[in-house]
Amino acid sequence: MNKNSIDLSIDFCGVNFKNPFLLSSSPVSNSAEMVARSFDAGWSGVVFKTLNSDTVPIIHPSPRMYGYGYGRKKLVGLQNVEMISDRPLKDNLADFLYLKKKYPGHVLISSIMGFSNDEWAYLAKASEDNGADMLELNFSCPHMAVEGAGHHVGQAFDLIEKFTTTVKECVSIPVIAKMTPNITDMTEPAIYAKNGGADAISAINTVSGISGIDLDAIVPTPNIFGLSSNSGTSGPVIKPIGLRFISDMAKCDELSLPLSGIGGIETWIDALEYILLGASTIQVTTGIIHYGYDIVEDMIEGLTDFMVEKKIAKLSDLVGKALGSLKTTDQFDLKRQGCSVYDLEKCVGCGQCYTVCKDAGGFALEWDEKKRQPVLIEDKCLSCMICSFVCPVKDLITFKEMPENWKREDAVVMDESLKTKIKYEPFKNFIK
């Protein structure tokens, strides 16, 4: 199998995408001028920035974003208080026509958000009439203060169903419902969307959060002339949340709709993780805000090479492939235990493993001061593996299974004699 035999194309609600990589509805898909460049770079489709119907003027706060950094790494998270498109509807629709004319093989998904039933219907119709291949219903913008809009809809499930029904009744193109993660269980609203006729679910929109505080002004960031707000957090920090919600929905038999994965995707590995947990397309914004459109080249190349390596020719064969091993914690085989393994040939002697094992692990390491190396006491290793997370050397610390009869040492009691003095009775469970 070689690169040329790999098929990255995917069917999503009956629409063919030449690869699974789309721009999500956001600043990166604000105009045809931008989207055209993204298509040239290799993205297969776009969810255009959410349309507005010109009824209320849209003015973005200023400044409208804040970067959440960690150490040298910039933008591990992004905070934004941006609103839906501030462009006149006619400009956006003209851009639709341009894109469909110039890029007929690319998929144009129109994101819409209404403040009333009629407005949902109006925007849906306008989108379909001007070439949109699909719709995405924005039930999740976290910056809408008005009841019945944005994430307030996403949190009021009957409205999801109502608005989806309305849209489905007036268009024939497939409809995706975009979910907010600012709830506990996403399958429930997703089923409401399905009942309203949604053909697919996309998730997640941004996570409601606060990125930090401007300490000079004592105002949370972004500081909008002395005020701030809970707002949307995106980027790599939210990937674990996105993966969790996608997998929940993928495993829900009652839902069984195609999924578009969103949240913290920058690399082919991030994208693949979403796919393996059930997404068949993936959408990106913050990755592009950080690095530009060209990252799609690395996503395509990386995913292709992976598929060659694993001898999987069709992308659809990867969708949901990791779901089978995703269970509840009570199903683990707790009889099988293991511990860490150290390949000290590679050790640089920093001793971070020793520090964390001592202060946060099982005290399973001693420190050889002369050699500047840890000495592992296997019987004390909790197999938490935190040592391997701080070790700067790749694959120095790994995990191995221990034999069945192996028993881990209990944590030390500082003074056994005090056991005679404790006030204690064994717990009796009276409720049977």
Partner 1 sequence: MDKRFDYSQAAAEADRCLLCHDAPCSKGCPANTDPGKFIRKFKLKNIKGAIRTIKENNIMGGACGVLCPTSKLCEKECCSSELDRPIRIGKIQEFLVRYGKDIEFQVFEKPEALLEKVAVIGSGPAGLSCGAELAKKGYQVTVFEKESEPGGVLRYGVPAYRFDKELLSQELDDIKHLGVKFECDCDIKNPGEAEELLNKGFKAVFIATGLWDAATILSNPPDGVYNSVEFLLNSHTEQMDILNNEVKNKKVAVIGGGSVAMDCAGLASKFQASDVYLVYRRSFCQMPAEKDELFDTLEDNVHFMILNQPKEYIKDQDGRLTGIKLIRTRLSDPDGTNRRSPVEIKDSQWVLDVDLVVEAIGNKAFDNSNDLYPDVDVDDKNLIKASLDDCQTSNKAIFAGGDIVRGPSLVVNAVQDGKTAADAMDSYLKKGRTNNE
> Contact positions toward partner 1, by CB under 8 A?
71-72, 348-352, 354-355, 367, 369, 372, 392-393
Cβ distance to partner 1 smaller for residue 316 or 355: 355
104 vs 392 by CB, closer to partner 1: 392
> How far apart are CB 402 and partner 1 at their closest, in Å?
26
Place of tokens 């009439």: 129
Length of the chain as a residue count: 432
Least distance from partner 1 to the Cβ atom of residue 228, Å:
21
Question: Shortest approach of partner 1 to residue 345 CB, angstroms?
Answer: 12
Q: For 32-88, give the DSSP string.
A: HHHHHHHHHHT--EEEEEEE--SSS-----SS-EEEEEETTEEEEEEEE---S--S-
Residue 240 CB, nearest distance to partner 1 (Å)? 23
| Residue type, position 390, single letter | V
242, 263 in Cβ contact below 8 A?
yes
Nearer to partner 1, 253 or 345 (CB): 345
Min CB(214)–partner 1 separation in Å: 15
Nearest partner of 149 among 123, 168, 130, judged by Cα: 123
Question: Whole-angstrom Cα distance, residue 279 to residue 296?
Answer: 17
Nearer to partner 1 by Cβ, of 346 and 400: the residue is: 346
Cβ neighbours around 416 below 10 Å, total: 8
CB burial of residue 225 (10 Å; 0-12, 13-18, 19+): exposed
- Closest approach, Cβ 358 to partner 1, in A, equals 9
CA–CA dist 125, 107 (Å, integer): 17
Residue closer to partner 1 (CB basis): 394 or 428: 394
CA-to-CA dists, residue 126 to 53, 92, 108, 354, angstroms: 10, 10, 13, 63
Residue with Cβ nearer partner 1 (72 or 335): 72
Stretch (H or E) spanning 15: strand 15-17
CB distance 106 to 45 below 8 Å: yes
Residues 6+ apart with CB under 8 A from 190: 177, 179, 198, 201, 203, 249, 252, 255, 257
What DSSP element (H or E) covers 272? helix 268-276
Nearer to partner 1 (CB atom), residue 72 or residue 421? 72
**Which tokens hold the place of 181?**
């993660």
**350 tagged catalytic:** no
* Per annotation, catalytic residue among 141, 339, 353, 391: 141
Query: Least distance to partner 1 from the beta carbon of 426, Å?
Result: 41
Catalytic residues: 141
